[in-house]
Amino acid sequence: MKPYREMSREELKAEEEKLRKEYRKYQAMELHLDMSRGKPCKEQLDLSMGMMDVLDSNADLCCEDGTDCRNYGVLSGIHEAKVLIGDMMENNPDNIIIYGNSSLNVMYDTVSRAYTHGIMGNTPWCRLDKIKFLCPVPGYDRHFGITEYFGIEMIPVPMSPTGPDMDMVENLVSEDPSIKGIWCVPKYANPTGYSYSDETVRRFARLKPAAPDFRIFWDNAYGIHHLYDDRQDYLIEILAECKRAGNPDMVYKFASTSKITFPGSGIAALATSPNNMEDILAQMKVQTIGHDKVNQLRHVRFFKDIHGMTEHMRKQADIIRPKFEAVEQILDENLTGLDIGTWTKPLGGYFISFDSLPGCAKSIVAHAKKAGVVMTGAGATWPYHKDPNDSNIRIAPTYPPMEDLIKAAQLFSLCVKLVSVEKLLGEERTAE
C-alpha cells in the first residue's frame, strides 16, 4: 500500500470507511486487554518459584560471616548479596549498598535526602530558589513523577539511538548551577530500548557541572535484560569511567531484581563512590536498622552466583522474546510503507516506543481504550505528561498472554491507521 499522504481524498475516504468497519468488529469483541505497564507475565514469575524452596524452617539463615539474617543489623547489606549484585551491576561489592524491595524507592530517597539535607555538605535543595533536572525524552514516567513531586523543574532533552543529546546536556550542565541532576536509563531504556553509546558514556563521565552537587541518576534497571543471546548491547561501566575522568562522585547507579525475580519482592541496590556512600549511610542509619536480609540471602541461595542469574535471564528472554517479535511483526505487516509511524526494535528491556504522526497519540490511545485495550497514557513518557508533539506511545508487550497480545497489537495498528487517516482528511478539510 502507498503512503497515506500520497493518497487522494477519495482513496483516503475509502480507507477510512474500511478501517471503521474493522474497528467496529473489534468493539463487538468486548476485549479487556492491558498493554499499559511493564510487568513480567505469570510464566516469568513462575521461573523464580524455586526461591520459595531455598529457605524453609530447617534452613540455616546465617551468612558466610556468621551473621544471623533473622536478626537486626548489617545496614548496607550482607556481603554475599553485595557480591552477587556487584557482579550484576559490574561494580565492586565495596561500592554497593543493598536496600529493600524497590530501586524507585531508593531514587526517591536519594532526591529526598538531597532536598532536605543536601549532598556531601552542599546546601539542601529546599533552600535554593530553583532546582532543575534534565529529563531525556521519551523517558520513564515514574522518574518524572519523583522530580515533579519535589517541585523540581524538568527540562526535556531529546533521546537518540545513541543516548541523550550530549551537546545539549554538556551546555546546560556546565552553564546552569541550578541543574542538579539528570535521569538516565542507560541500557535498554524505558521506553525506547536504546542503549547509550561508548561516546555518550564517556561524555557523561567528563561533564563539567556548574553545580558541585550535580549527580547523574543512572538507573540501570535493565542491565542484564537481554532478549537475544547473540545480539546484546554492552556499555562502558559508568562508575569506573567517572573515576578515570576525575569525577568519582558524580554518579548514583541504581538497579534491582524486580524484573529478574519478583517485582515488589526483589532486592534493590545502589552503587556509588566511597564519599557518596558515607554521605548516604549517615542518613540511612537514622532511617533503618537494616533491610530485609532474609530476602537478600534467599536471592543468593537461589542464584548461587552471577552465572545462575544469567542463565535465569536466558529463560526469561525465551518467554518474552516471541512477544516482542510478535508485536514488531504486526506493526511491520500493518504499518510499514504507510509513513504514519515509527517504532523501536530493542535488543532488551521491557518496552517498544512508538511515534505516531504529530497530534495523534492521545487519540490512538483513546481509540484503543474504547475497543477494550488499555495502553500507557499518551504523554506519560514526558515530564508533566506533556508530549509537545502528542506522538509518543509506550508499548509494553511482556504481560499479556500471547493470544491477547496479538489481538491488542492488531487493534493498536488499526487505531494508528484510523486516527492517521482521520487526521489527514481533517488537514485536507482545513486546507480547502
> Which residue in this structure is represented by grid cell 492491558?
34
Cβ closest to ligand PMP, residue 152 vs residue 418: 152
Q: Are 196 and 187 in contact (CB under 8 A)?
A: yes
Nearest distance from C-beta of residue 220 to ligand PMP, angstroms: 9
Nearer to ligand PMP, 160 or 336 (CB): 160
Q: Under the criterion CB under 6 A, does residue 138 sit at the interface with ligand PMP?
A: no
CA-closest candidate to residue 204, choices 164, 156, 254, 152: 164
Pairwise CA distance, residues 360 & 133, whole Å: 28
Q: Which of residues 59-88 bind ligand PMP (CB under 6 A)?
A: none
Q: Return d(Cα 312, Cα 262) in angstroms, integer.
A: 13
Closer to ligand PMP at the Cβ: 40 or 416?
Answer: 40
- Is residue 258 within the footprint of ligand PMP (CB under 6 A)? yes
182 binds ligand PMP (CB under 6 A): no
Least separation in angstroms between residue 140's CB and ligand PMP is 4
Instruction: Establish if 190 lies at the interface with ligand PMP (CB under 6 A).
Output: yes
**Strands 215-219 and 153-160, bridge-based pairing:** unpaired
User: Which of 91, 95, 103, 398: binder of ligand PMP (CB under 6 A)?
Assistant: 103
Q: Between 191 and 341, whose beta carbon lies closer to ligand PMP?
A: 191
Among 26, 140, 144, 412, binds ligand PMP (CB under 6 A): 140
The secondary structure of 360-401 as a DSSP string is -HHHHHHHHHHTTEEEPPTTTTSGGG--TTS-EEEE--SSS-
Interface residue with ligand PMP, options 102, 112, 122, 174 (CB under 6 A): 102
Please say which residue, 258 or 356, places its beta carbon nearer to ligand PMP.
258
> How far is the C-alpha of 276 from the C-alpha of 97, rounded, in Å?
11
Q: How far apart are CA 352 and CA 192, in angstroms?
A: 6
CB 269 within 8 A of CB 257: no
**Binding letters toward ligand PMP, positions 17-36, x by CB under 6 A:** --------------------
Contact by Cβ (8 Å): 411, 371: yes
Residues that bind ligand PMP (CB under 6 A): 38, 102-104, 140, 185, 190, 219, 221, 256, 258, 263, 268
